[in-house]
Amino acid sequence: MTNSTSTQATDIMESPLHNHVAHTNADNAGVVMSEDKFRGHLNLRGNPQDADFMAAVASVLSVPLPTAPNTSARAGDTVAYWLCPNEWLLIVASGTQGQVENALRQAVADKGGNQHIAVTDVSSAQTLVNLSGSGVEQLLQKSTVYDCHEANFPAGKVVQTTFAKTGTTICKLADGSVDLVIRRSFSDYFFLWLQDASEEYGLHIA
């Protein structure tokens, strides 16, 4: 059997949670999981006290790099998470990570070129998962040691902590749902945990 149309890369790619799509679909589910597949994930390191570096990054990204601990910035498809004082996770539109990586290197080189920076494409190592629904807050309380009460965890805040003992980056969104960055190698484990922890609320895979 031949297919006359060219096969897109994303048609044959399998996301980390590929095998769990439509695995569990409860009615009126209290927890809805959706994987934001194949987003570009870039790990950026540089000195935030260096005005040239910050200006170079700002010229490439549509969002400013957050410099306050545990904060994030987002505009459209681009998200920047604060990871540590000189490290950020940039999540960009699917397929654009190579262009953004090159543009970042070029912009920094144009600003002087002798700065110590690192841009690493980690797209294949991790995936972005969104959890929403009425049961999410309780699910997080069961799964993570971090205090996810809204007084301590307002929208836009991002923390790296443990989720079911695996390292996770959790970001609260304005709509009350949470975005989790999970490791590809832990995705099966993550899903099995999620299935178990969400049993009483019902789980729906969107």
Partner 1 sequence: MHHIYCPYCEETREEEEYSYTGEAHIERPKDPAAISDEAWADYLFFRSNPRGIHHEMWYHAAGCRRYFNVTRNTQSYQIHETYKMGELPTITAASLDQAAPQGDAS
> Which residue from 24, 161, 177, 195 is in contact with partner 1, where contact means CB under 8 A?
161
CA distance 129 to 180: 5
Note whether 160 binds partner 1 by CB under 8 A: yes
Strand bridging mode 166-172 / 203-205: unpaired
> Which residue from 95, 106, 138, 146 is in contact with partner 1, where contact means CB under 8 A?
146
Of 105, 95, 84, 83, the closest CA to residue 41 belongs to 95
Stretch that binds partner 1, among 8-16, 94-102, 159-167, 180-188 (CB under 8 A): 159-167
Note whether 154 binds partner 1 by CB under 8 A: no
**Which CB, 52 or 87, lies closer to partner 1?**
87
Note whether 42 binds partner 1 by CB under 8 A: no
Helix (H, G, I), strand (E, B) or coil at 133: coil
> Which residue from 9, 12, 22, 145 is in contact with partner 1, where contact means CB under 8 A?
145
Note whether 84 binds partner 1 by CB under 8 A: yes
> Which residue from 14, 167, 185, 200 is in contact with partner 1, where contact means CB under 8 A?
167
**Which CB, 138 or 160, lies closer to partner 1?**
160
3-class SS shares of the chain: helix, strand, coil, % to 5: 25, 30, 40
CA distance 113 to 199: 53
Note whether 90 binds partner 1 by CB under 8 A: no
Beta-bridged to residue 36, according to DSSP, are 128
**Which CB, 43 or 134, lies closer to partner 1?**
43
> Which residue from 83, 129, 139, 170 is in contact with partner 1, where contact means CB under 8 A?
83
CA distance 59 to 57: 5
Q: Tell me the closest approach of the beta carbon of residue 168 to partner 1, in angstroms.
A: 8
CA distance 180 to 24: 19
CA distance 170 to 84: 14
How is residue 189 written in tokens? 């484990």
User: Which residues here bind partner 1, judged by CB under 8 A?
Assistant: 69-70, 83-85, 87, 145-146, 159-162, 165, 167
